[in-house]
């Protein structure tokens, strides 16, 4: 009985975690460059009930980031960039580099290209600094990330990819990822920079809502089972004490 209760608690905790993942995805359906988290815990439960999956398993091990491409939104803004293909921008912080698909950038008071939180966007030569005589409308970026102003090359975006290690990245907040110390990025192989575009979130609202309904139903079913189990245990104790 104790093992069954423990297993049921683990199931309810796993479903609660998946519900939180889904609600977070839905909250970011309009966030530029957002990559949804995929949690297949409920699907694992359904597979087990149908006899096609293995029993047990931790919900945390089933959560992965979905790095599939989001749709492109044209803005015409010179410091908006979308990435087509596998790769990420590098953001420099005092704690080390972060990685993002959100290419909504701006200039700080020193003329450096920064993200929406004011953090330095890395270039091949360090911070990307736009000379004061170069207006925003004169900034052009080629498909390989070379940045020019008034026709003169200024720098190049530092772009990276993690290949098979992509799903080892961990969330660092503000739509950024951090790599474990033992994982090193590579130069991207087939990545295109699109100036004047944003990459939309890859969250599909209908799919998330369907998943939410499935998780809610499984949660309710397991709560009913737990209630029945508690009632049975109480009855057995009453018999034993009488």
> 182 and 92, same structural domain?
yes
* C-beta neighbour count of 187 within 10 angstroms: 10
> 149 and 114, same structural domain?
yes
> 77 and 63, same structural domain?
no
User: In which band, very low, low, confident or very high, does the pLDDT at 240 lie, cut at 50, 70 and 90?
Assistant: very low
Distance CA 228, CA 234 (A): 10
The pLDDT of residue 225 is above 80: no
pLDDT tens digits, 23-77: 999 999 999 999 999 887 777 776 666 555 454 444 444 568 899 999 999 999 9
Q: Helices 205-241 & 41-49, crossing angle to 10 degrees?
A: 60
Burial class (CB in 10 A: 0-12, 13-18, 19+), 110: exposed
> 154 and 168, same structural domain?
yes
Query: What value does the mean pLDDT take over residues 101-130?
Result: 97
- The pLDDT value given to residue 190: 92
> 237 and 206, same structural domain?
yes
> 195 and 141, same structural domain?
yes
Q: Tell me the average pLDDT of the chain.
A: 86
Q: Helices 2-27 & 205-241, crossing angle to 10 degrees?
A: 160
> 212 and 188, same structural domain?
no
Q: Is 0.75 topped by the overall pTM?
A: yes
Q: Look at the chain and report how many structural domains it folds into.
A: 2
> 62 and 83, same structural domain?
no
User: In which band, very low, low, confident or very high, does the pLDDT at 186 lie, cut at 50, 70 and 90?
Assistant: very high
> 106 and 188, same structural domain?
yes
Q: Which residues contact 52 (CB under 8 A, 6 or more apart)?
A: none
Percent over 90 (pLDDT), the chain: 66
The pLDDT of residue 135 is above 60: yes
Q: Where in the sequence is the domain holding 181, given as residue range(s)? A: 72-199
Contact (CB, 8 A) for 81 and 74: no
Backbone angles phi, psi at 54, to 5 degrees: -80, 140
Query: What value does the mean pLDDT take over residues 206-211?
Result: 93
Sheet holding 192-195, edge to edge: 103-104, 80-84, 192-195
């Amino acid at each position: 009985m104790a093992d069954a209760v423990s297993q049921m608690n683990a199931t309810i905790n796993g479903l609660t975690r998946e519900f939180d993942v889904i609600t977070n995805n839905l909250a970011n359906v309009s966030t530029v460059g957002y990559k949804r988290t995929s949690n297949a815990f409920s699907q694992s439960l359904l597979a087990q009930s149908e006899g096609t999956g293995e029993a047990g398993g931790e919900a945390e091990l089933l959560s992965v980031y979905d790095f599939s491409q989001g749709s492109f939104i044209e803005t015409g803004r010179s410091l908006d960039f979308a990435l087509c293909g596998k790769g990420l921008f590098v953001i420099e912080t005092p704690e080390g580099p972060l990685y993002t698909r959100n290419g909504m950038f701006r200039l700080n008071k020193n003329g450096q290209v920064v993200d929406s939180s004011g953090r330095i966007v890395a270039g091949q030569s360090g911070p990307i600094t736009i000379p004061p005589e170069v207006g925003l409308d004169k900034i052009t970026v080629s498909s390989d990330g070379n940045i020019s102003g008034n026709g003169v090359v200024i720098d190049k975006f530092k772009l990276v990819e993690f290949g098979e290690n992509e799903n080892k990245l961990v969330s660092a907040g503000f739509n950024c990822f951090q790599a474990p110390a033992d994982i090193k990025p590579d130069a991207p192989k087939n990545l295109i920079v699109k100036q004047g575009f944003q990459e939309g979130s890859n969250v599909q609202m209908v799919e998330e809502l369907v998943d939410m309904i499935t998780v809610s139903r499984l949660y309710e079913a397991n709560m009913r089972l737990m209630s029945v189990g508690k009632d049975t245990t109480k009855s057995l104790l009453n018999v034993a004490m009488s």
